[in-house]
Structure 1
Amino acid sequence: MNLKKRLNYVTTLLSPSFINFYLKNKQTPVADALTYVKLKKEATAFLDQYQVQTTSGEKNNVIWICWFQGIEDAPPLVRHNIETIKRLYPKQQVQIITLANLSDFITFPTILQDKIDAGLIPYAHLSDLVRVALLTKHGGTWIDSTVYFTGTNFPGYVFDAPLFFYSNTQQQNRAIAASSWFIHSDTNHPILVLTRDLLYNYWQTHDTLDNYFMFHVFLTIACDHLTAEYAKLPRLGNVEPHLMGKVLFEQFDEQHYQEITALSSMHKLTNKFSKENQEKADTFYQYILNH
């Protein structure tokens, strides 16, 4: 490659249009780090004048699970996960959030609701907005519909702390501090309130999603801004809860299953898989559906 072509190549890589394309289409530590820098820079003025929420929170034992189309149309794994949670936590209210009942629990700012109605916000990010709005207003526990429980053996702080989420322990990605598929919170926790407000502030001036993990990046920005609050949070790594998902369509092995469930009683799975995988016999997936 001659010098002119190299310069053109570098110029393209550094152009705002290419960077924006990269951020929107790549989920990598580099893309997340670039998104963190970009979003934090855009939010500088907002953060400088932000008044930290000091309202004391209240506890709520409701479990929030979202399936926008209604549980009747949910995949078998989602329905099974929900029934398992209800069986394991009979004393807690399990509230299914759908598009039909969403307005019974939360109200978004008008400009954000208009963009939701216009279809500018994909369902995956809408669920991020829903979880942070529900937890700041009502408190309780958000559990993604793809989370499978094999027991209730958790440290007490998982359900007792003012705020708990699984921490990202992968050193190569520091732009994302935590997972969002399980969050337990009192009402009005400052970190979640700031995360919510950063998201609302973003959508005032944007019509597209910068990064699939934008919620996680804003959550990290909130943790970095409220260092004293973040330091109080209990930490539990998010690696073990992902182990079951990595073998979901492998041949079932009882010993391996016991090893995984001994490490974690909570398992982040997925409902994005091929029909071919779904129909494979004697897999971990098939075992889960039948137990």
Structure 2
Amino acid sequence: MAIQFKSQSDIGKSLTRSKMILCEFFEKWHYFSLELAVYNTVWWIGNYCHPLVELQFWAKDRITIYMDKYLNNSILPPHHTPTTSQNTTILNTIRSTLKNKQPREIVDNSNYKIWIFWWQGEKAMPDLVRGCFQQVKSTNDNVILVTQENIRQYSDIPDYIFRRVEQGEISFTHLSDILRVSLLAMHGGLWLDSTCWIPASIPDEVKSLRLISPRTKDQPKMPFWSDSRWCGWCSGTNLVQNPLFVFTRDFFYSFYKTRSRIPFYLFIDYVYDYAYRNIPEVKTMIDTMPENNINRNKLHFLLNEKWNKQEYSKICKNNWVFKLSYLNSATL
């Protein structure tokens, strides 16, 4: 059974993207502010119109300034666990995280879990997603599929977030952002998006790193908060209570207690970047993370090409994870 990826016409793409950008504009205006809605719209226009990439850089910088001010001045509700007795700002949350450091357990290779999320379970997976999942299981141990049935077993996500999911206020995409930092903060291990292809066993040296995510060094600046320093679709740690994931988890739990919409698409990358700029330990971990998986996107662009074992082996050399996509696919 093969997967064929359909190409949408240029006119179709333009109409789809225009509708999305327009809907985003009114949503951000309604839930946040007209200022943020304008910056977000400009960012999307620059994203899709490559000659206007400077606009995207401009919008990213304005969104960052806006969100820093928003976070630094926002009063957040108490964490869902009784760790705080009164409302606090995000900066105080950071200070508390750093002040109340606890000994961090190091996860050894034999207990290093690989986390994959599909709400409806394996039987409901599209063909490409199921193929990726079966591949990682065939080449690695301790692979855990998190579903609707067991999500509470592995995470401490509060009930009010699940209620928002059930009511359609929080999408499964946004739930996966919350889930990945919850799992990594509690257990360590490696998070893989469901469309990650793992050609072989993940190297032991990867599992021994305090922080790991696909990274490319010495790249031209990009108008994204990750800026080739990490990839949100694949991230891991051998530390339980890694400060990056603890901070992001605690922030998400507080944020979603009063909100059901994110301010912009790459929100989790912004939060990682905020932690990078405000928590020295996080900055050190990201700065010292080795370059890895520089060919991580190459298989995606070959999905409709004729199978070439030699080319596949060449691409997989020194690369242990690839990002694919099941969007616009059909089974033939």
TM-score (norm. length: structure 2): 0.70
| Residues 234 and 183 of structure 1: CA distance in aligned 2, closer, same or farther (over 3 Å) | same
Give the one of 181, 203, 206 matched to 2:256: 203
Q: How does 1:1-291 map to 2 (within 5 A)?
A: 16-17=33-34, 19-20=36-37, 23=40, 26=44, 28=47, 29-30=56-57, 31-45=59-73, 46-50=89-93, 51-53=96-98, 54-58=101-105, 59=107, 60-89=111-140, 92-152=141-201, 154=203, 156-167=204-215, 169=217, 170=219, 171-173=221-223, 175-176=225-226, 177-185=229-237, 186-232=239-285, 233-237=288-292, 239-275=294-330, 278-279=331-332
Mapped to 2, the partners of 1:226 and 1:73 lie a distance apart of 40
- How far 1:127 moved relative to its partner? 0.5
User: 1:33·1:175 contact (CA, 8 Å) conserved in 2?
Assistant: no
- Where does residue 283 of structure 1 map in the other structure? none
Structure 1: 5+ residue runs without aligned partners?
1-11, 280-291
Q: Percent identity?
A: 23
Alpha carbons of 1:271 and 1:22: their partners in 2 closer, same or farther (altered >3 Å)? farther
The alignment yields a C-alpha RMSD, in angstroms, of: 2.7
Q: Which amino acid aligns with 2:116?
A: I
> Aligned-pair distance for 1:126?
0.7
Counterpart amino acid of 2:214? Y
Q: Over residues 162-182 of structure 1, what are the superposed CA-to-partner deviations in whole Å (9 max), with x where a residue is unaligned?
A: 222223655223522421122
Query: Would you say how many aligned residue pairs link Structure 1 and Structure 2?
Result: 261
Distance 1:178 1:106 in 2: 23
State the alpha-carbon separation in 1 of the partners of residues 232 and 216 from structure 2: 10
Residues 271 and 83 (structure 1 numbering): CA distance in 2 closer, same or farther, change over 3 Å? same
> Which SS does the other structure have where 2:297 is aligned?
helix
CA contact (8 A) 1:199 1:218 kept: no
Equivalent-residue separation in structure 2 for 1:168 and 1:178 (angstroms): 8
> For structure 2, which runs of at least 5 residues remain unmatched after alignment?
1-24, 48-55, 74-88
Q: Deviations 1:48-74 (Å, cap 9, x if unpaired)?
A: 312124223221412111111110111
TM-score (norm 1): 0.79
